[in-house]
């Protein structure tokens, strides 16, 4: 058994027994880890205030390779993201990113870049106001790139023509778009040039600039649908992200 130290972000928690919690964490050095936090729900718990979903913490835990559930020993709060408290927009966007990570990545494989991306995006959601959903789109685009299945957005899958001024038809099973000529009569989700422009811009944007975006409703719909279809196909999310269902209902 090893005693390990790392940074972590709380993805999800479950009540266990009378006073404990089971916690799913994305750790910086050891990937997704599940820990038992004994006594975490008792008022005098040493973990108090550290195990709320989306909290950024430092942890010490006992790791035994032969078991799935590790034992949490110590926590220190790095960032509680205080502006998430009582704010449904920030919370549901953060939960959607956490849910995607929890469902899409395999446990116990180091995910340093995913961790740093997630921490950056949560901080940006916390400190900014405006169109915060753009930060989730930014996260989703970078996340699928890190996972190795970034869609081909720039050029037509079939004839290679550049799509920036034309738009196209998104084909989630082929991992990209067809230009209007190749895609005619073949179905797929219609994507306007304005939506592509936003997706291209997000790939190189600074997170603090993103909430200033003011996308048209048509672009919001296309980008939401495109990610949704893509995750269902490539990340095995048969059902979309629960947190997003809630977010869309709240925003409509």
Binding interface with Zn ion (CB under 5 A): 156, 158-159, 179, 182
Total residue count of the chain as it appears in this document: 252
Q: How many Cα atoms sit within 13 Å of 19 on the Cβ side? A: 10
Q: Minimum Å distance from CB 197 to Zn ion?
A: 19
Nearer to Zn ion, 104 or 182 (CB): 182
Nearer to Zn ion, 29 or 158 (CB): 158
Collapsed DSSP state (helix, strand, coil) of residue 171: strand
Q: Minimum Å distance from CB 161 to Zn ion?
A: 5
As a whole number of angstroms, the distance between CA 248 and CA 252 comes to: 6
- Give the strands of the sheet with 176-178, arranged side by side: 176-178, 168-171, 189-191
Q: Minimum Å distance from CB 152 to Zn ion?
A: 11
Q: Minimum Å distance from CB 189 to Zn ion?
A: 16
CB proximity list for 23: less than 8 A, separation 6 or greater: 10, 12, 13, 14, 34, 35, 36, 37, 40, 51, 72
Nearer to Zn ion, 110 or 188 (CB): 188
Q: Minimum Å distance from CB 173 to Zn ion?
A: 17
- From the CB of residue 109, how many other CB atoms can be counted at a distance below 10 Å? 10
Q: Minimum Å distance from CB 36 to Zn ion?
A: 54
Nearer to Zn ion, 121 or 226 (CB): 226
Nearer to Zn ion, 182 or 229 (CB): 182
Q: What is the DSSP letter of 236?
A: -
Nearer to Zn ion, 57 or 156 (CB): 156
Question: Is the Cβ–Cβ distance between 153 and 113 less than 8 Å?
Answer: no
Q: Is 144 exposed, middle or buried (0-12, 13-18, 19+ CB in 10 A)?
A: buried
């Amino acid at each position: 058994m090893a005693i390990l130290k790392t940074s972590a972000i709380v993805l999800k928690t479950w009540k266990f027994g009378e006073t404990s919690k089971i916690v799913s964490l994305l750790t910086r050095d050891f990937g997704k880890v599940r820990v038992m936090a004994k006594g975490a729900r008792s008022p005098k718990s040493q973990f108090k205030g550290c195990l709320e979903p989306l909290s950024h913490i430092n942890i010490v835990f006992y790791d035994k390779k032969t078991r799935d559930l590790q034992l949490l020993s110590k926590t220190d709060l790095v960032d509680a993201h205080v502006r998430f408290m009582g704010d449904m927009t920030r919370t549901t966007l953060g939960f959607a990113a956490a849910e995607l990570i929890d469902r899409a990545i395999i446990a116990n494989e180091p995910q340093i870049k995913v961790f740093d991306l997630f921490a950056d995006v949560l901080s940006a959601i916390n400190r900014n106001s405006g169109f915060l959903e753009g930060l989730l789109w930014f996260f989703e685009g970078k996340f699928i790139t890190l996972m190795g299945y970034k869609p081909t957005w720039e050029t037509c899958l079939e004839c290679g023509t550049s799509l920036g001024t034309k738009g196209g038809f998104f084909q989630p099973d082929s991992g990209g778009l067809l230009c209007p000529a190749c895609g005619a009569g073949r179905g797929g989700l219609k994507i306007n040039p304005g939506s592509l422009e936003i997706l291209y811009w997000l790939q190189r944007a600074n997170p603090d600039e993103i909430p200033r975006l003011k996308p048209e409703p048509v672009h919001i719909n296309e980008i939401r649908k495109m990610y949704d279809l893509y995750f269902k196909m490539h990340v095995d999310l048969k059902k979309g992200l629960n947190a997003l269902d809630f977010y869309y209902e709240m925003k409509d």
